[in-house]
């Protein structure tokens, strides 16, 4: 596999960054995970827009105009002869002197790499067992609105889920409300309404979260932002998670207790997959 | 300068890590900043002990026995002909597959590099202007007890301080209490007692913080753990910060308002510097 690194396409074993890169030292960067279907990057503009908002917040310079990045992604797919994949894009602040001050670090690092698309999810959504994590999301954390490279809380949560035999962790906020998965947004169906926590609760503004809310609107399915707790999730009509690499994943159990299944999840999954496969929204940034 | 990287000594421009290293992707690692004086690593054992505790918490494997690391540090100093420096040690989880799960990532990356010692602080403590940051420390964050590579809150705080012309940021916790600097622990003198926030407040267990508390005990200076606020700091007898690279730094202003100066700061700085220069505690781990 070839990797894009700062303007060059190189074999992945030679995709190396400086040990003085602030991404490596402090997680001083941002990333995106983009689904590639039929050779097209799904919701490319949305991903770049989120990355650009994060870069503005962190005052992290862009190494080149965003409009040129779609050409890099296209060439990466072509060189690797890949049509179905997950594209990971990382922007770090690049090498700097010792210390937290970003002063003088103005040579950002940009990496794009391709990873296998999850197998077989287009027919049926994956069925995930969830485990409530002991890791809490801080309320009102401004960094929660960006996909930063500071992911130790999510890594700890996911490792807990691994250890308990679950597929994904459910993180609560410091007030005990259900926030999001370690790498996914949370949805549930209550009184025939599709619900998800508001962004103000400190959850990531997921691109797939946004797409699912758009689908609900287009199908005239009632949806709203709301709060819930693990015990209320057990009484919901259905629970699912959204993430760009995979789309929609059905939650079949939480902390070892089965969750109710809803046909709505299958309907939303099918609509999402139709959109993914018919999308022509690639490379128009 | 040569850098230690996974068992090899290499020129710094060739000190490269994989773009798939989880340190680069997610800040999945730990680091230490060790003062080197007279060719000896000050409080080496304390630094390694903190790193080892963090590695155990993150279930991050060590690439080799800690006892061998002092030999690497010694050789790094000898190869670079350095006697006064700051040694930075980074341990990341190394390369892994896509996603937060640490499963299968068992080739950690270990880097040691040397950086210039801060000039001239041994005669007089540096005089720092502080600026209260808008970035808040989450209360009861278990990660606060380790020096992790997730440092975006500290980077944001330090960038705010830079922008306001200050030398260091003062971070408050979510309840408005003074916690720590972006890269330093906070001390103040109140009623002739040396005070610092308790570790349970979510501040880093700084090695220099510990040394200063030991000095207070050896000099029979009363000291205790306590909480304070920015407005109470203005009414303290003196304020200072501690950090391993530098020792003790005197705080001369907070948010543009001068802070009282205390002879105790000079006394503690002198005692710290005597300990630094006479220490024989190197390389006994």
Q: Is B147 a catalytic residue?
A: yes
Quick one: pLDDT at residue A284? 43
Nearest-by-Cβ selection for B59 from A31, A153, A159:
A159
State the average pLDDT over residues B130-148: 93
Quickly state the pLDDT bin for A283 (edges 50, 70, 90).
Answer: very low
CA distance A155 to A159: 6
Whether the pLDDT of residue B194 is over 90: the answer is yes
The answer to whether the CB of A270 falls within 8 A of the CB of A218 is: no
For residue A149, what is the DSSP state?
S
Which of A12, A24, A36, A180 would best serve as a mutation to test chain B binding (most B beta carbons within 10 A)?
Answer: A24
Indicate yes or no: CB of B158 within 8 angstroms of CB of A115. no
Whether the pLDDT of residue B205 is over 60: the answer is yes
Among A66-75, A270-279, B198-207, which is the least confidently predicted range?
Answer: A270-279
Whether the pLDDT of residue B188 is over 90: the answer is yes
Return the closest-CA partner of residue B137 out of B44, B227, B36, B70.
B227
Quick one: pLDDT at residue B267? 94
* Tens-place pLDDT, residues A126-161: 999 999 999 999 888 999 999 999 999 999 999 999
* Tens-place pLDDT, residues B214-238: 999 999 999 999 999 999 999 999 9
Residues 236-265 of B with CB under 8 A from A: 245
Q: Is A180 a catalytic residue?
A: yes
Which of A6, A145, A152, A165 would best serve as a mutation to test chain B binding (most B beta carbons within 10 A)?
Answer: A152
Q: How far is CA A215 from the centre of its chain?
A: 18
Chain B nearest CA to A155, separation (Å): 5
Quickly state the pLDDT bin for B280 (edges 50, 70, 90).
Answer: low
Alpha helices in A121-262 (DSSP H): 152-163, 207-218, 230-233
H or E element that contains A1: none
**Could you count the other beta carbons within 10 Å of the beta carbon of residue B141?**
16
The answer to whether the CB of A128 falls within 8 A of the CB of A182 is: no
Indicate yes or no: CB of B19 within 8 angstroms of CB of A18. no
Whether the pLDDT of residue A230 is over 90: the answer is yes
Quick one: pLDDT at residue A40? 94
Whether the pLDDT of residue B129 is over 50: the answer is yes
Which of B151, B155, B158 would best serve as a mutation to test chain A binding (most A beta carbons within 10 A)?
Answer: B155
ipTM of the prediction greater than 0.90, yes or no: yes
Indicate yes or no: CB of B26 within 8 angstroms of CB of A98. no
Indicate yes or no: CB of A100 within 8 angstroms of CB of B183. yes
Tokens of B106: 């068992």
Q: Give A-chain residues touching B155 at CB under 8 angstroms.
A: 26, 28, 58, 100-102
Q: Give B-chain residues touching A98 at CB under 8 angstroms.
A: 33, 86, 88, 115, 245
Residues 139-158 of A with CB under 8 A from B: 139, 141, 143, 148-158
Quick one: pLDDT at residue B283? 47
Whether the pLDDT of residue A115 is over 80: the answer is yes
Whether the pLDDT of residue B169 is over 50: the answer is yes
Q: Is B27 on the interface with A (CB under 8 A)?
A: yes
Nearest-by-Cβ selection for B103 from A115, A150, A162:
A162
CA distance B243 to B207: 8
Quick one: pLDDT at residue B270? 94
State the average pLDDT over residues B166-175: 96
Indicate yes or no: CB of A31 within 8 angstroms of CB of B25. yes
The answer to whether the CB of B44 falls within 8 A of the CB of B281 is: yes
Mean pLDDT of chain A: 95
Nearest-by-Cβ selection for B155 from A28, A88, A182:
A28
Indicate yes or no: CB of A155 within 8 angstroms of CB of B113. no
Whether the pLDDT of residue A204 is over 80: the answer is yes
Quickly state the pLDDT bin for B125 (edges 50, 70, 90).
Answer: confident
Question: SS3 for B52?
Answer: helix
CA distance A111 to A117: 18
Indicate yes or no: CB of B90 within 8 angstroms of CB of A155. no
Tokens of B250: 């005197």
Nearest-by-Cβ selection for A59 from B5, B31, B159:
B159
Q: Give B-chain residues touching A19 at CB under 8 angstroms.
A: 3, 5, 15-17, 90, 111, 113
Indicate yes or no: CB of A23 within 8 angstroms of CB of B24. yes
Quickly state the pLDDT bin for A285 (edges 50, 70, 90).
Answer: very low
Q: Give B-chain residues touching A25 at CB under 8 angstroms.
A: 23, 31, 90, 149, 151
Q: Which long-range contacts (CB under 8 A, 24 or more apart) does A250-254 make?
A: A250/A125, A250/A126, A250/A127, A250/A128, A251/A128, A251/A129, A251/A130, A251/A168, A252/A127, A252/A128, A252/A129, A253/A129, A253/A130, A253/A166, A254/A129, A254/A130, A254/A131, A254/A132, A254/A170, A254/A230
Q: Give B-chain residues touching A155 at CB under 8 angstroms.
A: 22, 26, 28, 58, 100-102
* Tens-place pLDDT, residues A60-109: 999 999 999 999 999 999 999 999 999 999 999 999 999 999 999 999 99
Indicate yes or no: CB of B86 within 8 angstroms of CB of A101. no
């Amino acid at each position: 596999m070839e990797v894009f690194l700062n303007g060059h396409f190189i074999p992945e074993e030679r995709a190396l960054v400086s040990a003085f890169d602030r991404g490596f030292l402090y997680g001083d960067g941002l990333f995106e995970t983009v689904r590639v279907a039929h050779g097209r990057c799904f919701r490319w503009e949305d991903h770049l827009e989120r990355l650009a908002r994060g870069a503005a917040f962190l005052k992290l310079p862009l190494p080149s105009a965003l409009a040129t990045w779609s050409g890099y992604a296209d060439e990466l797919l072509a060189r690797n002869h890949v049509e179905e994949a997950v594209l990971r894009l990382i922007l770090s602040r690049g090498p700097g002197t010792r210390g937290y001050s970003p002063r003088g670090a103005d040579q950002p690092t940009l990496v794009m790499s391709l990873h296998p698309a999850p197998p077989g999810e287009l027919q049926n959504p994956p069925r995930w067992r969830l485990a409530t994590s002991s890791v809490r999301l801080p309320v009102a954390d401004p960094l929660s609105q960006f996909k930063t490279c500071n992911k130790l809380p999510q890594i700890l949560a996911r490792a807990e889920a691994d250890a308990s035999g679950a597929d994904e962790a459910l993180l609560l906020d410091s007030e005990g409300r259900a926030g999001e998965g370690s790498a996914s947004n949370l949805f549930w169906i209550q009184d025939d309404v599709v619900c998800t926590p508001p962004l103000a609760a400190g959850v990531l503004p997921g691109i797939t979260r946004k797409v699912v809310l758009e689908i609900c609107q287009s199908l005239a399915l009632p949806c709203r932002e709301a709060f819930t707790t693990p015990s209320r999730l057990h009484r919901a009509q259905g629970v699912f998670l959204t993430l760009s690499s995979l789309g929609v994943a059905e939650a079949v159990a939480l902390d070892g207790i089965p969750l109710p299944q809803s046909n709505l999840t299958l309907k939303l999954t099918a609509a999402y997959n139709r959109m993914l496969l018919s999308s022509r929204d690639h490379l128009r940034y």
